[in-house]
Structures are given as C-alpha cells and as structure tokens.
Structure 1
Amino acid sequence: MEKAILSFIEKHQLLRKDSKVLVGVSGGPDSIALLHFLKELRENWRLELVALSVDHCLRGEDSIADLEYVQARCEEWGIDFHGISLDVPAYEKAYGLSTEVAARELRYQFFTERMKVLGADYLALGHHGDDQVETLLMKLVRSASSTAFSGIPVRRKLADGEIIRPFLAVTKKEIEAYCEKHALHPKIDATNFETVHTRNYYRKHVLPLLKEKNSNIHITAQHLSETLQEDETYLQKEAGKILEKTTVFDEEKNSATLEINLFKKHDQSLQRRAFHLILNYLYETLPDQLSYTHEANFFALLEHTEGNAKIDFPRGLKLNKVYDKLTFHFNAQHPQPVSFHKTLTMPDSIQLPDLSTVTAELIDNKPLENPSSFYIAKSEVALPLHIRTRKPGDRMSWKGLNGTKKIKDIFIDAKVPIEERKTWPLLVDNEGEVLWLIGLKKGIRQEVNDEQFIYIQYEKGNL
C-alpha cells in the first residue's frame, strides 16, 4: 500500500518536502491511517504536521470521544492538534440546509480558517479509491450532463494552499489492513453501516457487485475521474474564450448580454459550458432549483424565431431575448419603464426620464436637418406640440408610403427591443397626429414658404 501511495503522490506531485501539512482526522480508519502514513514520512520529507478534528455535535458523547481519541493519538505521535465542536444542527436549522451540507460547510469553514492562520501548504484528506467509485456511481444516477459527472479531485485549491487526497490510489480494504498492521485501533462510526444514507447504500449493495467483475474498479474509476477532469478543464477554458468574444458582463454581476448569432457558431458542448459559466458569474451560489430543464429552456430561447421572448430562472434571474441579443438580468436591476407626456412651448427645453433632452424654438428660415432634428411650418400644425410615449392605435405616414402604418409595426420592422418601445419618444401635435417618431421616421410635411418654422432638436441621454 505504501508504494502505491508514494507512486500516486509522485505522479500527481501532491506533496513537496519542507511543507506544512494539515490533516483532516475524524478518528476513523481512513483518516487515522493517513495521519500515521504522513507521520512515517515526516522525518525524511521534513514535514510539519498539524491534525484538524471536528465534532459536528451530531452523535453526542460518541463524537466527543472521537475528538479526544484523535487528540490522544496526536500527543502520542508528537503532532500538533487543533480540535473544535461545531453546532451543525443549529446551523442546519438557521440556513435551511440538509445535515450533510451543513456539516460540510462548517467543516470547510474551519479548514479554510486554519489554512490561513497557520500558513499551511496542504490539507490532506483521507478519501480513498472506494469513495471515488461510490461518488461516480451516485453522479451517474443523478447527473443529466457530462459537466456534472465528475469524481473526487486529487487536488484543488483551498485558501493559499491545496487540498490533496493521496489515498485515492488505494481501497478501503487496504487501509483497514494498514491499520491492523500498525495496531492503530481506529474509531468506528456506527452510522457508516446504516443504508438509509445514499453513499452507504452504494457501499454495501452496489460496490461489492462491481468488484466481483473488476477487483481493480477503484483504479478504473480513478483513471476515469482524472481523464474527465482533464477534458473538462480544457473545455471550460475554450468556453471561456467564447464568452470573451460573444458576451458583455456587468462588473457588478447584475447582468450579462450575449450576441446570439456569434454564440451559436460554436459547438453546442462549448455553448452549454459557457451558459453555466454565465450562471456561475451571476449567482453567488447556484440555486438548488436549477436543473437541466433550465438549460433546455436556454437553448430553446436561442432558437426562438420571433423577435422577443423571456423566461424566468430561480431567484429572480430573467433571460430576455431581443432579436440577436440575449440578456441575463435580475429584476431589481431592470425597473419597469415609465410612460410620459410633456407639452412643448416655444422656446422650450425638456428632459425625458432617460435624461434625453428635447429643445424647441421658433425660427424665421427653413433650417438644415439631421437625424436628430426636425422642423415643420408653424401654420401646418395644431399647437401646442407634445412629446409622449406611444398609445394604442398610434399610426403615422411618411413620404413614399401609401396610407398609414402602426407605430408598433414600425418598431418591429426596425427591430426595436420591446422594453425600449415603451419609452420611445414621439412628437405629436395637439390633435394627436404623429409628426416624428424620434430617431426613426419623420412624417409628411407640406413644403410651404412660411414666415416661421418650429425647429426641434433631440439629444440622447446617458442613462
């Protein structure tokens, strides 16, 4: 067993000499064997070892006894001991978590804090090859995508160091034999034999069947986990490149907008990962309610043929498709547009809700026009003029058009997003005739040599 572990450490470069190594120790066979194994390496590798042990307050006196057992082994072996009692039931109730999740969160908070305070290089944990098989089996049953189908990582970042799992190279049976060989007498948690827990069910009923077919299933599972992780790391990197080209992120993590046509040019496997990267960016923690259904809805939205469409995600996140753009945003960041109606006098300057300004004045000569200005003979309109948002039934006509056209249809033809239509300014006379759909269409005007002209200028705001 020792040779297999050392070979695994060397292969994955899990441990350096002259390092400070924290060891998560529960008192069970896996963690006690790990602590003893590292103790045996300590002198040759010049390791500074610190044992971390947690009482989760779930098994009364038994869990306190486990903590005391670990402390006694550390005193015997000359290893620094840091133990703590964490009130998992209270935390579970306060945050509405399952017992397993609550225990893990509190445990890792303690581990992270100790890593920082002690300036440790590594946190070694005792997960073994059978744990890897069980994890992959559970993921296989629950996962609906290859992204979620992953095993226990050999190493990962924690604080300023790394978590390492050198025992993934060996089985539970080998660890128990190691404990017997070295007379370690670990503590046994009776709940490990209760098959009401999912992992224990796989451990007792499923894993033995697989080992009948392949006694080295733990090696197969570890190789599968590593290759999956290598592939996933590469694909995640490529998905990140797609987002750099296609998506604009709000720095405050309130929204993200992607260019649909550019996005869809890439393989769907990368699109799917890019979608999940966006969710990871926007959500502080991913909601439990998120499922493969939301992913399917996202891809359906990309293929939606009409100009505008919306779908809702958990915690108020909305996906809003407007022609070739798809925006992820939270409700609070996108208040409902407000309609307005303002009367223009001459001279006058008014500010619209989006901070745009409209100025009006009377001039004596016909002016030069540009897309942001409009003029009309004073004698041709019913005064006063008004700036307002559209109303149901608004229509207008322009040179070259037979009859009139609905403002709504003009917006659709011009691919104006629905939200912008609600606040788009119109210039109308006192009888409701639309003279100028500002920035889009100018109505029919009689060419007259009048003494006075009304000259309107529009300046876009920066809201």
Structure 2
Amino acid sequence: MDKPFLDTVAHTCLRYALLPSGGTLLAAVSGGQDSVAMLLALRAIAGSNGPALQYVHVNHCLRGTDSDRQAAYVEELCHDLGIPGHTIRRDVIERIERTGESIEAAARAERMDAITAVRQEIGASVVALGHTADDRVETILMNVIRGAGAAGLAAMPARRGPIIRPCIETDRAMTGAFCAECGVTPFYDSSNRDVSHRRNRIRHELLPYLEAYHNRSVRAALLRLGDLARSEDGYMEEMTEAFLQDIPNEPEASIDLDRTRLAALHPALQRRVVRRIYERVTGNADDLGAAMVEHVVRAIRTAGIRRTWTTPSGVRFQVDQRLQCFRPVQHADRIDDPIELPVPGEVFHQASGLRFFAEPFRVGTIPSALDSHTLVLPAAMAVQPLVIRSPRPGDRLRPLGLQGSKKLGDCCTDRRIPVTARLHLAVVADKLGILWVPGVVADERIRVTRTPCDAIRVRCCRSM
C-alpha cells in the first residue's frame, strides 16, 4: 500500500487533530479519485477502534443518467467496503433559476446544504472533504484573480468548524497512485474537462501556462502565499473577535456598535468587523460585496454623516452616531401574540432570537445586582401565567429604583437602544404588566425584600 500517501494523511490528521476519538465520521464522496482515496485512507487509519465511518454522496442531477451512474458507483463501492451511508438528490437547476447563481456556486451551495443536513441527522462531529493541495492552489489563484483579501488567500484550511480536509497536504498524483495500488478505479466525470467552467480553465489552461512560461514552481509559490495569508488572517481574526467579544455570535441578531470606538480601529480591522457583524445577522456574507463594505467603512470614518444601505438579502446597515446591522422586521413577520412561559418550562421567542427557561427557585440571599440574563422574581409578586412577547406601543413599567412609571420606549432611549433594535427585544410580563426586558430594564416588582423566599427564576440565552 502507498505508504507516503497514507503517512501524509495520517500526519495531517494528527497535526490538526482532525479525527474524533469516537462517534461518527462522515466522508463526502463524489466518486472521483481524490474523494475515493480519502475514503480508503480514512477506513485504514480509523480502523476498528476509531470513529464509525459513513459516507454521503450528493447527486446534483446535472448530467442526467451520467449523474445517476456516478451515484450508483459510489453506492456500490461503499457497499463493497462495508461503509454505510447516504445518497442525496438535489435539483441544482431549480436553484439556479431561483437565485441566478452560476452552476459552480449553486452546486457547491446545494452540496454543502445536503452534507450539513446529513451530518446533523446522524450526529457526526465532522465531515471530511477530499480536497488536495492542487485544489488549494487553484482556489488561491482564483481568489487572486478576483481580488480577494487575506481570508480568500488563506483558502481551504485543514480544519474549519466541522469541515476537515485530511488530504490537503497530498496532491492528485498521490491520490491517483493510491487508488491504483488499492485496485480501485474511480469514476471519471467528463465535466471535469469542460473548460467553460472557471476552475477547469485554471486547472487545464492557466496553471500549465504559468508553469511553462513564468514560474515552474508556481504551485509551491501559491501554497507559500496561502500559508503566509493564513498566518496573518488568523491574527486579524483574533483581533476582530476581541473587538466583538460582547456581541452575540448567533444569526438573526440585531447588532449595534459604538461608531466612535469603531472609527478608532485600523481600516483593515473595520472591514473585518463590518463583514463579521453581517455574518452574525445573516449566517454568512456571501452577498456582501466589497463595494458595500467600503461604503460602510468610509461612512464610519466620516464625522457627521448619516447613511443607510440595504443588501440583496434585505439586511440593512445604518450609520449615524452608531453602526447598526439588522434585518428589518416586517409587520407580517412580527410575533406579537404572547407566548406562555410555563414554570418549569422553556420557550423560544422568534423576534428576539432568545430562548427562555423558567423554574421554581429558593432565594437564600438578596441579589446584589440585576443580571442581564437572569431574573429572580418573588413568587408572591407574580400573577401567572408568565408570557414572552415583543414590545408594544405604549408599554409602561415602574423601573427598579424609581418612584413612578415610565414608558418602555423612554427606557430604551436612556439606554441608547436604536428604534430599529427595539423590534428585536423580548418582554417578560404577567397579567399585571411588564416584569423584565432583558438587557434593558426590570420592574420594581422583582425586588427581593426578604429572605429566604420562594421565587421564580427566569434565564434567557441566544438560541443555538
């Protein structure tokens, strides 16, 4: 058996801690030589004491019967190897007609959606992709051509979240030789020679031209460029995360940042912050173009300007005294009907993205301060049922420590909460009115005046 290939894959898995010690390992198998070599290597490396190996194959339905034959090849190969798995059909053409994406982009999106769904269904901690160093070289060069930043040049890491690439330090010559030595003939996909696709043009035309006329070691040079970019990108990512450490890390949030603090950052870091908060609101930054990022950054650095932009997906950036990124809540989308919160029990409030938990609680000492994520309510002061709802016009409460009542809107103004962000607040109330608005204000009724006493503890967190 080809020891250099197996040794390289094993070393990569060990170096980057790619393989789980147990559970399920999902391998994405197209049937081509790279993914087949990866499957065979993982089967050999994991052995009987490692994670249980399963495969997933996505049939994009782009080549008619040829796509079906490829799916049948993968199913037969994995059956012979004793590897269980899943074949998923996805209609890429329908997606292209709906979104206007290129074939490559639509196929990639459908493939990753399907793979993620299978991974979550079977409880696999990671999914292995068969990318090699050659794929990485092509991706780096594509990103150079389109003017990508450091993140684009640092393409295809060995691990990113649940995605692992065990073969990323091997090349196609090694995967082909390994398949041949194992007596396995991979499925030949004729579309890989179609130079109407950008990646294929780079693979079959541009890279050979660069090697022949400019730099015989261009592949190694591009990999060095990628390694350098990854190091610098990693540092910038740490800086970005440090700046945003208090911002929720889940999609569907409304994010609001202090403009003055943001304007003090280096422009390179400002761009990353803008992209990152967009990712946290939408889940990804696929439709956020460089031009819009530059518009937002320029507005952040220009005193006295007030501007608003809306992305193709409907997410809005607003720059005034603060930078806000949010998905406008349409009237039809608002969840204004109260959701009853049982005690004990839990509910999810869609507009705020918060999950609430309630339980009986025995208070031993008087709380010294109000926790922004936890409410302790004396049971005698609650007129159940408790409900979770969105703010309403005219909402009033008696803020903790004040003598009279006050509009919730005025409390938000005092806390400098933008009107747009108030749509994403959650209100905890009972039959008598508001008890608590997490992160904003609590009513005087929550005050604990004696201990011990019976209480209701309500906690909230961003839903994962």
Q: 1:123 to 1:255 in 2, by over 3 A?
A: closer
The residue aligned with 1:279 is 278
Q: 1:265 to 1:248 in 2, by over 3 A?
A: farther
Equivalent residues of 1:132, 1:218 under 8 A apart: no
> What pairs with 1:11-410 in structure 2 (closer than 5 Å)?
11-43=15-47, 45-157=49-161, 162-211=162-211, 221-222=222-223, 224-243=225-244, 253-254=253-254, 256-260=256-260, 262-286=261-285, 288=287, 290-305=288-303, 307-315=304-312, 319-322=317-320, 324-328=321-325
Question: Which piece of structure 1 moves more, 116-125 or 212-221?
Answer: 212-221
**Equivalents in 2 of 1:47, 1:332: separation in Å?**
44
**Equivalents in 1 of 2:251, 2:90: separation in Å?**
36
Deviation, 1:177, is 1.8
Deviation, 1:114, is 2.0
Equivalent residues of 1:139, 1:150 under 8 A apart: no
Q: 1:226 to 1:13 in 2, by over 3 A?
A: farther
Kindly tell me the number of residue pairs found equivalent between the two proteins: 331
Deviation, 1:255, is 5.1
**Equivalents in 1 of 2:91, 2:330: separation in Å?**
37
**Equivalents in 2 of 1:114, 1:331: separation in Å?**
32
Deviation, 1:105, is 2.6
Q: 1:4 to 1:294 in 2, by over 3 A?
A: same
**Equivalents in 1 of 2:31, 2:250: separation in Å?**
47
Q: 1:218 to 1:18 in 2, by over 3 A?
A: farther
- 1:68-98: CA deviation from partner (whole Å, max 9, x where unpaired): 1112112222211322222222233244433
TM-score normalised by length of structure 1: 0.62
**Equivalents in 1 of 2:224, 2:83: separation in Å?**
33
The one-letter amino acid of 2:181's match is: K
Equivalent residues of 1:53, 1:67 under 8 A apart: yes
Equivalent residues of 2:9, 2:41 under 8 A apart: no
Higher gyration radius (CA): 1
**Equivalents in 2 of 1:248, 1:120: separation in Å?**
26
The one-letter amino acid of 2:196's match is: V
The one-letter amino acid of 2:110's match is: L
- 1:104-146: CA deviation from partner (whole Å, max 9, x where unpaired): 2322222222222222233211111100000000011113433
Q: Which runs of 5+ in 2 are unaligned?
A: 332-392, 397-418, 420-464
State the secondary structure of the residue aligned to 1:132: helix
State the secondary structure of the residue aligned to 2:258: strand
- 1:186-212: CA deviation from partner (whole Å, max 9, x where unpaired): 111111111110000110112234556
- Aligned Cα RMSD in Å? 3.4
**Equivalents in 2 of 1:17, 1:242: separation in Å?**
34
- 1:317-369: CA deviation from partner (whole Å, max 9, x where unpaired): 555544x54445566689xxxxxxxxxxxxxxxxxxx9799xxxxxxxxxxxx
Deviation, 1:33, is 1.3
Q: 1:209 to 1:44 in 2, by over 3 A?
A: farther
Equivalent residues of 1:156, 1:163 under 8 A apart: yes
Deviation, 1:256, is 2.0
Q: Which runs of 5+ in 1 are unaligned?
A: 335-353, 358-418, 420-463
**Equivalents in 2 of 1:98, 1:115: separation in Å?**
26
TM-score normalised by length of structure 2: 0.62
- 1:131-178: CA deviation from partner (whole Å, max 9, x where unpaired): 000000001111343344331121122xxxx22111111111221122
**Equivalents in 2 of 1:19, 1:75: separation in Å?**
20
**Equivalents in 1 of 2:41, 2:239: separation in Å?**
40
State the secondary structure of the residue aligned to 2:143: helix
Equivalent residues of 1:169, 1:219 under 8 A apart: no
State the secondary structure of the residue aligned to 1:167: coil
**Equivalents in 2 of 1:280, 1:39: separation in Å?**
36
The residue aligned with 2:375 is none
Equivalent residues of 1:126, 1:167 under 8 A apart: yes
Identity, % of aligned positions: 27
Equivalent residues of 2:251, 2:281 under 8 A apart: no
